[in-house]
Amino acid sequence: VAPWEAALGAKVTVPTLDGKISLSIQPGSQSGQRLRVKGRGLPTKTGRGDLYVILKVVMPDKNETEKTRDLWENLQKQHPDFDPRATIGSKGGGA
């Protein structure tokens, strides 16, 4: 997902074993987060397993304009206490 989709939430289309589905991304979603889609996984003796969709935040291409640079800097200023490396070294930690 785009960073703004993770931040604000979005409806996205995801390919599955049997066709595309629409998936709701909640506002405040995180990279690496696992979303369960019931009954869309592998067949089991008793029915179907669940499908897990792993979120990955994907950045747009390097193509910053003065405007986007400004917006990023502004977002940074709005998060003075955010440390993306707070959990580094632990499992699934940031980098």
Binding interface with a copy of itself (CB under 8 A): 1-8, 12-15, 27-32, 53-65, 67-69, 71-76, 78-79, 82, 84-85, 88-89, 94-95
Measured from the CB atom, is 47 or 59 closer to a copy of itself? Answer: 59
Measured from the CB atom, is 44 or 65 closer to a copy of itself? Answer: 65
Provide the pairing of β-strand 47-48 with 43-44.
antiparallel
Least distance in angstroms from the C-beta of 43 to a copy of itself: 21
Helix count (H) and strand count (E) of the chain? 2, 6
Measured from the CB atom, is 45 or 55 closer to a copy of itself? Answer: 55
Residue that is written with structure tokens 């400004």 in the block: 70
Of residues 74, 95, 73, the one with CA closest to residue 86: 95
